[in-house]
């Protein structure tokens, strides 16, 4: 009988694991992806959705359509729990038994971390889901008719800093294009100890390059700062500073999603070994943002370690190799240390970042900016969507 492998989550981590496992194991495995969304979303383009530079249909693919031709089952359902002892995923309508489970459920967004944070019941926009990015685009279009101060950034406990940098730079570029930049003071507030820290302890000259980039654009930067609360039209910082805004977008901290929380650390992230196997449950693996990873250093205001799409894909490839090796009775592969390559939009230009390995001390570490990285970012989006549409996760 084929080994039953269930993958929770249909994004960077989940799809890479599903396609790689099917490729490694063929008929030996019955691979099923369970996702509460019926589409794959190219999350890195969400800041562009908030600016109106991308439509949802430009960056989404129907999961059923891309999985079925590869012989992978798809169940469109939200997992409400996991019975790790009985090896079952629980949804509202059924229980799905597995021999191996790959948890790739990404993050839950913790807006409750700061009073008034977030679009649901709060006063700030967010761009971490498609719905939020579309909502933010609505707020942006209203803002353009009646502009005023913008306050953006990352509150205490955030790990994913890149999107707020992108948002700040894109707002600046778009306002300049519309010749109304002089009507909009922009303030960037972040829990990072310095600009360019990015949750990874900086990369090459990232501090200097990012300080210059913000200064050249006349974006005021407040680092090492926590936010006390957001009220309608005002960000109140821990040091008592009050920043009025017409538009505000802030990144929230993340935790593990509810269905897998009990299998995780106190924040619900899944503890794994070097092969991405759960430290207690040997038939459970986890990849991507769902995985527990310690930050490189303690920062005065708490920050976390970002887990990028590139990293999620690498983790999924390693986990798939390990599961396949075990099923085929081969020796477990030695997982390579994680490294990262990332392209960050900077509005009128972009930055290329590389860290090998991910955490310092590193063999290679750099951040450089240039217009060619903007073209590369756009080209990569199209390439990745094409690659995942055809299940070609073996390609670079
Ligand atoms: C705005 C933004 C911009 C970014 N830009 C970049 C970038 O430029 N480059 C880069 O490398 N990385 C970037 N990242 C990070 C990157 O998007 C993430 O690393 C990547 O999406 C993580 O993939 P994942 O598969 O772990 O989780 P996710 O992409 O979060 O996907 C998790 C999936 O699991 C599903 N799911 C969750 N809970 C359940 C449940 N209970 N039952 C069933 N399904 C469930 C979700 O619907 C989702 O489809 C960005 C992130 C954001 C938010």
Pocket test for ligand 1, best of 308, 314, 338 (most atoms within 8 A of CB): 308
Judgement on whether residues 119 and 182 belong to the same structural domain of the protein = yes
| 152 Cα to the center of ligand 1, angstroms | 21
Judgement on whether residues 385 and 260 belong to the same structural domain of the protein = yes
Which of the residues 342, 350, 353, 358 is marked catalytic? 342
Query: Among 185, 218, 252, which residue terminates a domain?
Result: 252
Atom index in ligand 1 nearest the CA of residue 14 equals 25
In a domain, 298, yes or no: yes
For 115-146, what is each residue's pLDDT tens digit?
999 999 999 999 999 999 999 999 999 999 99
Judgement on whether residues 306 and 223 belong to the same structural domain of the protein = no
Judgement on whether residues 120 and 177 belong to the same structural domain of the protein = yes
Q: What is the pLDDT of residue 250?
A: 98
Rounded to the nearest angstrom, the gap between the alpha carbon of residue 352 and the centroid of all alpha carbons in its chain is 17
As a whole number of Å, the end-to-end CA separation of the chain is 33
| 146 Cα to the center of ligand 1, angstroms | 33
Q: What is the pLDDT of residue 203?
A: 94
Q: What is the pLDDT of residue 336?
A: 85
In a 3-state reduction of DSSP, which class is residue 217?
A: coil
Buried (b) or exposed (e) across 200-211, using 16+ Cβ within 10 A? bbbbbebbebbb
Closest CA to 63 of 77, 50, 83: 77
Judgement on whether residues 161 and 239 belong to the same structural domain of the protein = yes
Strands 79-83 and 88-91: antiparallel
Which residue matches tokens 């309608």?
Answer: 232
Is residue 126 among the annotated active site residues?
Answer: no
CATH assignment of the domain containing 144: 3.50.50.60
Judgement on whether residues 194 and 215 belong to the same structural domain of the protein = yes
CA torsion sign for 252, 13, 315, 8 is: positive
State residue 338 phi and psi, 5-degree precision: -70, 135
In a domain, 353, yes or no: no
Q: Which value, in Å, is the radius of gyration of the alpha carbons in the chain?
A: 21
CA 105/CA 7 separation, integer angstroms: 9
Query: Is 104 touching ligand 1 by the criterion CB < 6 Å?
Result: yes
Rounded to the nearest angstrom, the gap between the alpha carbon of residue 150 and the centroid of all alpha carbons in its chain is 23
Q: HSE-up of 47 (CA within 13 Å, CB side)?
A: 24
CA torsion sign for 327, 333, 336, 341 is: negative
Judgement on whether residues 170 and 44 belong to the same structural domain of the protein = no
Pocket test for ligand 1, best of 8, 43, 379 (most atoms within 8 A of CB): 43
Judgement on whether residues 117 and 245 belong to the same structural domain of the protein = yes
- Are the beta carbons of 323 and 21 closer than 8 angstroms? yes
Judgement on whether residues 105 and 115 belong to the same structural domain of the protein = no
In which domain, by residue range, is 187 found?
A: 111-252
**pTM metric for this prediction:** 0.97
Query: Among 225, 252, 279, which residue terminates a domain?
Result: 252
Q: What is the pLDDT of residue 360?
A: 86
Instruction: Write the DSSP string, 139-159.
Output: HHHHHHHS---EEEEE-TT--
CATH assignment of the domain containing 298: 3.50.50.100
Residues of the chain under the 50 pLDDT cut: none
Query: Among 212, 227, 252, which residue terminates a domain?
Result: 252
Number of separate domains in the chain: 2
Judgement on whether residues 19 and 59 belong to the same structural domain of the protein = yes
Rounded to the nearest angstrom, the gap between the alpha carbon of residue 2 and the centroid of all alpha carbons in its chain is 33
- Which strands form 29-35's sheet, in the order they lie side by side? 73-76, 29-35, 3-8, 100-103, 284-286
For 73-108, what is each residue's pLDDT tens digit?
999 999 999 999 999 999 999 999 999 999 999 999
């Amino acid at each position: 009988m084929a080994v039953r492998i269930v993958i929770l989550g249909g994004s960077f981590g989940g799809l890479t694991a599903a396609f790689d496992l099917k490729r490694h194991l063929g008929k030996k495995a019955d691979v099923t992806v369970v996702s509460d969304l019926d589409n794959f979303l190219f999350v890195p383009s969400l800041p562009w959705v908030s600016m109106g530079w991308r439509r949802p249909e430009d960056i989404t693919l129907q999961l059923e359509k891309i999985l079925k031709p590869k012989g992978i089952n798809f169940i469109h359902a939200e997992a409400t729990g996991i019975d790790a002892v009985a090896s079952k995923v629980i949804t509202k309508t059924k229980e799905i038994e597995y021999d191996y489970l790959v948890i790739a459920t990404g993050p839950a967004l913790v807006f409750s971390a700061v009073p008034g944070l977030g679009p649901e019941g709060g006063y700030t926009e967010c761009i971490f889901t498609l719905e939020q990015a579309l909502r933010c685009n609505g707020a942006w279009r209203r803002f353009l008719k009646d502009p005023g101060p913008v306050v953006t950034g990352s509150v205490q406990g955030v790990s994913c800093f890149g999107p707020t940098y992108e948002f700040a730079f894109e707002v600046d570029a778009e306002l300049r294009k519309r010749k109304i930049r002089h009507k909009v003071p922009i303030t960037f507030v972040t829990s990072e100890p310095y600009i360019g820290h990015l949750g990874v302890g900086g990369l090459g000259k990232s501090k200097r390059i990012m300080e210059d980039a913000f200064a050249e654009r006349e974006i005021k930067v407040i680092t090492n700062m926590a936010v006390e609360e957001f009220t309608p039209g005002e960000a109140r910082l821990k040091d008592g500073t009050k920043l009025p805004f017409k538009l505000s977008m802030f990144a929230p901290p993340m935790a593990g999603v509810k269905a897998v929380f009990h299998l995780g650390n106190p924040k619900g992230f899944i503890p794994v070994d070097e092969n991405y196997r759960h430290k207690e449950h040997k038939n459970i693996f986890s990849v991507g943002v769902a995985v527990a990873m310690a930050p490189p250093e303690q920062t005065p205001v708490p920050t976390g370690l970002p887990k990028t799409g590139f990293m999620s894909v690498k983790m999924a490839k390693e986990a798939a190799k390990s599961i396949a090796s075990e099923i085929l009775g081969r020796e477990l592969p030695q997982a390579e240390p994680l490294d990262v390559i990332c392209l960050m939009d900077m509005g009128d230009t972009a930055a290329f970042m590389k860290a090998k390995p991910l955490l310092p001390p590193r063999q290679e570490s750099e951040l450089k900016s240039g217009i060619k990285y903007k073209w590369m970012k756009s080209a990569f989006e199209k390439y990745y969507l094409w690659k995942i549409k055809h299940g070609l996760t073996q390609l670079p």
